[in-house]
């Protein structure tokens, strides 16, 4: 080979090496399957917190880890379509939220670690064997709903002292426990409140259900669920028109017009979810990672909505609130 040809060959090969190595590295990057229960815009704050915490732990998206995103747009039935797609890619860990979504993923893989950033009743719905010893390939963060139900109703009664009839808005699920619904019914009885079940199966049911509550209920308690969360703006708008105060379990639902919320700090759950994903990526089996509980809870009150409903928020309650929306 002539010297000029040899130099050209070496130069061309050297130029190709970075692309070849880069392609190999891209294929070898650990991959996280991220299945969000709600819409892409609604999920951005949680996703940003999750990705930031992963980066702090050494998993920089696109450099040391790859993340495959999927959004179910609040439709629980879509989880059954999306989960197999993530498993086929394949991915090294799947992170999701909501009992129905975890169950959908669990049905298609018994080997890929599954981390849930929030679940209402992980033991009752068969996601894990126990909180201390999850067993299998699933672990994550419980929402401790039985602890928050009482607090939410206490606050709602302070704002609506004449409340006698409480509508409980929830998504109807088949063959699955609804711990929050049961707790809300039981807690309402201890407060001598009559309850009205306001079950929906999809977002299309929300308008007629709220319309049916006019004159029958004094307030609405909303159970946490991806379908309900995705339609929070619609719920708040219709409830306000019906002169019904709404209690949510998520801060974001108060930003769109709900009266109040009390529940776990979801950005904190996203950070801690990233920490569990980090453990799984480094080889710890989910069976050996106990299910964690929320440690931070937020009380949020929307004064603008209160004024629209001619409700007066006690000064002592405003002083206890973590956030007041003017």
Taking only the tens place, the pLDDT of each residue in 97-147 is 988 899 999 999 999 999 999 998 899 889 999 999 999 999 999 987 777
Query: Taking residues 215-238, what's their average pLDDT?
Result: 94
Side-chain-side CA neighbours of 30 within 13 Å: the count stands at: 20
The Cα 195–Cα 163 span in angstroms is 11
The Cα 194–Cα 197 span in angstroms is 10
Contact 129, 135 (CB under 8 A): yes
Model confidence, pTM: 0.85
Cβ-proximal residues to 276 (8 Å cutoff; 6+ apart), any chain: 115, 139, 140, 141, 289, 292
Going along the chain from its start, the domains and CATH numbers come out as 9-143+266-288 (3.40.50.2300), 145-264+297-325 (3.40.50.2300)
Q: Where are the alpha helices (DSSP H) in 173-265?
A: 179-190, 206-213, 226-230, 232-241, 251-255
Q: Where are the alpha helices (DSSP H) in 89-192?
A: 99-108, 145-159, 179-190
pLDDT value of residue 161: 96
> How confident is the prediction for the chain on average, in pLDDT?
90
């Amino acid at each position: 080979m002539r010297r000029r040809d040899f130099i050209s060959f070496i130069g061309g090969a050297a130029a190709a090496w970075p692309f070849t190595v880069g392609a190999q590295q891209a294929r070898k990057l650990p991959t996280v399957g991220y299945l969000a229960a709600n819409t892409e815009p609604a999920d951005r704050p949680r996703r940003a917190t999750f990705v930031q915490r992963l980066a702090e732990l050494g998993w920089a998206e696109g450099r040391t880890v790859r993340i495959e995103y999927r959004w179910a747009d609040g439709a629980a039935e879509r989880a059954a379509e999306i989960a197999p797609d993530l498993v086929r890619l394949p991915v090294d860990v799947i992170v999701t939220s909501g009992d129905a979504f975890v169950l959908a993923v669990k049905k298609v893989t018994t080997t890929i670690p599954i981390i849930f950033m929030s679940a209402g009743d992980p033991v009752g719905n068969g996601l894990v064997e126990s909180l201390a010893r999850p067993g299998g390939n699933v672990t994550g963060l419980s929402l401790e709903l039985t602890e928050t139900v009482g607090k939410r109703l206490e606050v709602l009664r302070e704002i609506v002292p004449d409340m006698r009839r409480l509508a409980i808005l929830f998504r109807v699920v088949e063959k699955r426990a609804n711990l929050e619904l049961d707790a809300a019914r039981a807690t309402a009885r201890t407060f001598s409140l009559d309850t009205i079940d306001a079950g929906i199966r999809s977002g299309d049911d929300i308008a007629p259900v709220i319309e049916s509550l006019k004159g029958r209920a004094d307030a609405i308690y909303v159970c946490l669920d991806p379908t309900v969360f995705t339609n929070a703006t619609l719920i708040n708008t219709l409830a306000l028109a019906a002169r019904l105060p709404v209690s949510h379990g998520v801060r974001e639902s108060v930003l769109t017009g709900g009266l109040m919320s009390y529940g776990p700090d979801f950005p904190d759950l996203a950070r801690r979810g990233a920490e569990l994903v980090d453990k799984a990526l480094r080889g710890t089996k989910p069976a050996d990672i106990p299910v964690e509980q929320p440690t931070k809870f937020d009380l949020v009150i929307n004064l603008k909505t209160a004024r629209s409903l001619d409700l007066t928020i006690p000064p002592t309650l405003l002083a206890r609130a973590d956030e007041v929306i003017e």
